[in-house]
Chains A and B, each alone.
Chain A
Amino acid sequence: MASDSKQLTTDARDNAGPTGFPWPPRAARGLPRLRHTNFHTEWRTEMALLNSTAKRIVTAVALLLAFALPFLIGGDLLRTTILAAIAGIGAIALSLIAGVAGQLSLGHAAFLGLGAYSAAFITSNLELHFFVALPVAAAVAGLAGLLLAPMALRLRGLYLAVVTLAFVLVMQHVYRNATPITGGVGGTRIESPTIAGVSLTRGGELAGIDFPGPTLYYFLVLLLLLATIVGVKNLLRSRMGRDFAAVRDHDIAAGVVGVRVFAATTRAFVISSAIAGVAGALMGGLLRHTSYGQWGMMLSVDYLAMVILGGLGTVAGPVLGAVFVTFMPEVLDQIAPMVPFISEEVGQGLTPERTSRLLYGVLLATVMVFEPLGLYGIWLRIRIYFMTWPFSR
């Protein structure tokens, strides 16, 4: 699926002359040399994460904005932003397994749930710190991924999608019935993290600065999101990441050229589910409660929507998708009085949440038909248009 984009960015097309043949190069034809990110004279610049001035500027501005954000907004908006950032972490994990490694998993909700319940067990039952819970959540979810990975090797495509979906339903049954650990139908509590006695989610004064509400939690989530982005981007340009893509494109061919297919699939599953576990724990830490109803098939579909709408197999795309899917109900809630068909009664008719679900259902189908790379694909088109201007008309 991701191969469409590669075609658009090849040097050949950007460099193509009037005949469509890439030779002689534009410079030799006496045309102005374009300031261009696709030409690299060194391996090091080719592999750099931020390989163009524009990317460096955009990243710097985005980082500045991200760190300044909690001082600009507050209350519910900040809370939604945190949820979007957590969803971004989870969506990157799904993009890694479904987009890069090509194993369509509908089981993401189960891994998220495992993370949240691990956090609950560590913080409430064992009364340990939330920061202990994060690695444990990653380990527990990763272990579940390790157990599910052999399934993925034996089953392909549709069968895998169905089995991972079944995994979600079976895990929901476990959450509902393993009462001593999971609290059964009512769910269980998660203690949110504290630093030096200051709750990260409720706010307080730390080192002489007053952090209102969940500001500190926002920074924790932001740091983990950045770590995930950098980590996964780095993974993608490593040998392991190329192995994942090779297995996705054709597992038998990959095996023939020396990729260890079993190892690659298993690693992809473990890494993806471990990241999902962290996202689940963070989700639990913010909501301070977890119950089985949260971790159903619908959550898997939500994450799939984020990844598909954002751009399957990319890193920036799923984050955009997460922001989009998380904020849509809020935005619709705000504009509900102005739009006639959105119901303002609670739980009656077309509520904002349902409208948002309806909308991204439509988008899911249309994106698959018209723009398989989602928002990232649209961005790519715009970028390529300007990069190759005035030859792009």
Chain B
Amino acid sequence: MSTQVVLILSGLAVGSIYALIAIGFAIIFKASHTLNFAHLALMLIGGFLVYQSTQLWGFSFWTGLAIAAGINAVLASALYLLVAAPLVGRSMLAILIATLGANIVLETGVIANPAWATDVGREVGSPWGSLTVEVLGGRMFLSHLWVLGLSTAVILLLYVVLQRSRWGLLFRAIAEDQEAAAAQGINVKYILVAVWAVAGMLAAVAGAFVGTFPRLISPESVEFALRSIPAVVIGGFDSINGAIVGGALVGLAEVYAAGYAPDYLGNNFHLIVAFLLMFVVLMIRPRGLFGSPEIRRV
């Protein structure tokens, strides 16, 4: 019983990081109908920016998080304006390839930065450290609870913003129908920049959590962001709720696979279980669990 509680909570904690990254993919997809591949590198940069702020500049973790979120927001908007905006109206695969190029550039930038990249990785200097706590008779890392709590808070905040603020209303309007929104006098480009910026901030928060105990942030952490793609696909590309459910499912599947996967499935099977889960879901529901079906005409 206590083991199960610990496994579920840890799974949800990891899943909440996936959900944060997946929501970034989902809101960009909802607003601009493309997959922003550079989101992977943005998560990496976010994590390293927190490391830079806390360990090299000497700020507190929370200030570092704010700095990272701010810089990431600028980077993401710049990405939209330089890479995605010129390709509006072309096939979404063109934008996918262009952002893939941007991802290579940003990722290489991180790898080539000797202050950031090491063989072992960096700890972002989180205030909760490596303590453990007792939950319902089982011991688990305090950091898991912090990550789970903070991610939930961030996601709730996002929901409030989307449902209650004027910006949220405009976002939902352009997600519904971009042309109709533009015809109503909404400055679509302005909103899209803001959407990409918010996605960048979410990536920074996720990056900080990826770099916290029991993990370290290193250039290989980009694989962590890669595993949030199955999360957003399982949920359906254009669904924020789907991204959260997908993230939780992937996190739980990963933790249970790490705990119970038999030997014949190979070492590190938990690292690919997300992708296998995605295959299964897509075979049954090609648009993910919550994705809306695409209507196509000749």
Q: Are A163 and B94 in contact (CB under 8 A)?
A: no
Evaluate contact between B87 and A358: CB separation under 8 angstroms: no
Question: For the complex, is B89 an interface residue (Cβ under 8 Å from A)?
Answer: no
Q: How far is the CA of A78 from the CA of B185 in the complex (A)?
A: 61
A177-B91 Cα distance, complex, nearest whole Å = 38
Contact B282 A369 (CB under 8 A): no
Stretch at the interface among B7-15, B16-24, B140-148, B269-277: B269-277
Given contacts A159-B233, A176-B267, A354-B112, contact A364 B100 (CB under 8 A): yes
Is the CB–CB distance between B100 and A173 below 8 Å? no
Docked complex Cα distance between A265 and B122 (Å): 46
Interface bits A349-385 vs B (CB < 8 Å: 1, else 0): 1110010011011111110110010000000000000
B256 at the interface (CB under 8 A from A): no
**Residue A120, interface by CB 8 Å:** no
Contacts A162-B233, A350-B112 known; A250 to B275 CB distance under 8 Å?
A: no
| Pairwise interchain contact A364-B275, C-beta atoms closer than 8 A | no
Question: B227 — nearest CB in chain A belongs to which residue?
Answer: A169
Task: Report the Cα distance A161→B279, complex, angstroms.
Answer: 13
**Nearest chain B CB to A3 CB, angstrom units:** 11
Q: Is A170 a contact partner of B272 (Cβ separation < 8 A)? A: yes
Taking a contact as CB atoms under 8 Å apart, the answer to whether B98 and A158 are in contact is no
The reply to whether the CB of A12 lies closer than 8 angstroms to some CB of chain B is: no
Task: Given A360-B104, A361-B102, decide whether A158 and B96 contact each other with a Cβ distance below 8 A.
Answer: yes
Q: Give the CA-CA distance A308 to B97 in the complex, in Å.
A: 9
Interface of B: prevailing SS: helix
- When chains A and B are docked, how far (Å) is the Cα of A105 from the Cα of B19? 25
A231 to chain B: closest CB distance in Å? 26
Instruction: Kindly state whether residue B249 has any CB partner on chain A within 8 Å.
Output: no
A155 interfacial contact with B, CB 8 Å:
yes
Within 8 A of A (CB), among B154-191: none
Chain B residues positioned under 8 Å from A368 (CB to CB): 87, 90, 94-95, 97-98, 101
For B246-269 the 0/1 string (1 means CB < 8 A from A) is 000000000000000000011111
List the B side residues contacting A365 at CB < 8 Å.
Answer: 82-83, 98-99, 101-102, 105
Interface size on A, residues (CB 8 A): 48
Interface residues of B toward A: which range?
A: 35 or more
What residues on B are CB-neighbors of A166 within 8 Å? 230, 275, 278-279
Partner of B105, one of A151, A163, A250, A361: A361
Q: Which of B93, B230, B278 has the most CB of A within 10 A?
A: B93
CB neighbours (8 Å) of B97 from chain A are: 104, 304, 308, 364, 368
State in angstroms the CA–CA spacing of A365 and B83 once bound together.
7
A145-161 contacts to B, CB under 8 A, are 151, 154-159, 161
Interface residues of B in 97-135 (CB under 8 A from A): 97-105, 108-109, 111-112, 114
Given the known A-B contacts A1-B94, A169-B272, are A357 and B237 also in contact in the complex, defined by CB atoms under 8 Å?
A: no
A52 CB → nearest B CB, Å? 31
Are B114 and A348 neighbours in the complex by a CB distance under 8 Å? yes
Q: Which residues of A contact B102 (CB under 8 A)?
A: 361, 365
**Is B286 in contact with A159, judged by CB distance below 8 angstroms?**
yes
B34, B35, B271: the one within 8 Å of A173 (CB):
B271
Q: Give 1 or 0 for each of A106-132: 1 = CB within 8 Å of chain B CB.
A: 000000000000000000000000000
Contact B94–A256 (Cβ < 8 Å): no
Contact B87 A159 (CB under 8 A): no
Residues on A facing B (Cβ under 8 Å): 1, 104, 151, 154-159, 161-163, 165-166, 169-170, 173-174, 176-178, 250, 252-253, 256, 297, 301, 304-305, 308, 343, 348-351, 354, 357-358, 360-366, 368-369, 372
A-B contact pairs, 6 of them (CB 8 A): A154-B283, A163-B278, A166-B230, A173-B269, A361-B104, A368-B90
Extra pairs beyond A158-B237, A362-B101 (6, CB < 8 Å) = A161-B96, A170-B272, A173-B272, A174-B266, A178-B266, A358-B105
| B interface residue numbers (CB < 8 A to A) | 34-35, 82-83, 86-87, 90-105, 108-109, 111-112, 114, 226, 229-230, 233, 237, 265-269, 271-272, 275-276, 278-279, 282-283, 286-287, 294, 296-298
